[in-house]
Structure 1
């Protein structure tokens, strides 16, 4: 009967892999620190040596995680590699990834029906996708937080600029619209005709009124002809919209 263990030494894996559990005591009596000792003492079981070397190669290449006396493997521990320890889970994953055609009985149930189960490869692939999605979500959350901070800073700056403009007397859109209504109403009253059709102003037209303003206030900032014409046009257009409802 195969006993499930949580970890194995490389020689343990090779013995179980070769199905030589009945000869375990005999095999372990050999000095495994001597290179080629397994091939020398057990020529009848060539795979025993081959499998051990295969495991060592996988460990040293980083394909198969292992430890030495509970610590990470270093160059100093290579002389005592027979004492490497491999977790059952890591060993199982290594077989699935690197030796998919091998199914040692001590790791894999031989007669179990796995038709309704998710394969380890599929599980690992899904796990990798999930890890990537979580990392992407974390990056998006960081980007969102940074953008939110920038928007908050811009909103604060906008409030400060509004307050600054108000303190300087710069009209807002609302106050400018009110000014245009007032200007438009004054133009309609000044340049318009009364109920009897009589001209109410000494100025015969808007152009004459503009000319009079320029003559009375020469060189005043904001009272150039182009500025006055534009403001008057905006004001008359707005008051016409108000009259139409």
Structure 2
């Protein structure tokens, strides 16, 4: 049944996700007295701990907007997760984007479940995450613009560029190779996973990054899909080479 709450605490959302509303009081008592002990106290419901961690990780890495007692969450300060709050539209958008095939009943109406709703949900999620996308893509945009402005024979073989390496063996800041390495590092970061195995960004692969850039910056010269695919592939290759050096 669809919930009419305007907001949720992470443990509330995890309980409803697992369809354990009948055991809510028991679970909340354990969560308040022994934070992080869900798996120990409720081994019969392993997904409860898993789903709670997924939600909290999404908040920590900026994928799921949330507040702490009505204010911003300072991730450098230890705070009790029990007081984190997630707005219903933000939680809906995160589910539509990250787990589009699950659609838990407390967020999604079974009667209105059809293909058009999935597309609308993804669209709304992208709009809600626009600020996050812009911050991540702005750095790529600046770096790519610098690469486009330095189109030269040296880009095909950066080792032939003047001043490719200093006497100490380090690349100067304006070396074309360094720009490729920076882009490759950004791609590796965005497409990588945390130590807990969670994605670091909302992008699952390079194609998703390219699609987002072309959608958000359709009128920027040099940001065509063909150019981005070629430059990103080269950047990842150069980054891999730099890592082996």
- What TM-score, normalized to structure 2? 0.48
- What TM-score, normalized to structure 1? 0.48
Give 1 or 2: higher helix fraction.
Answer: 1
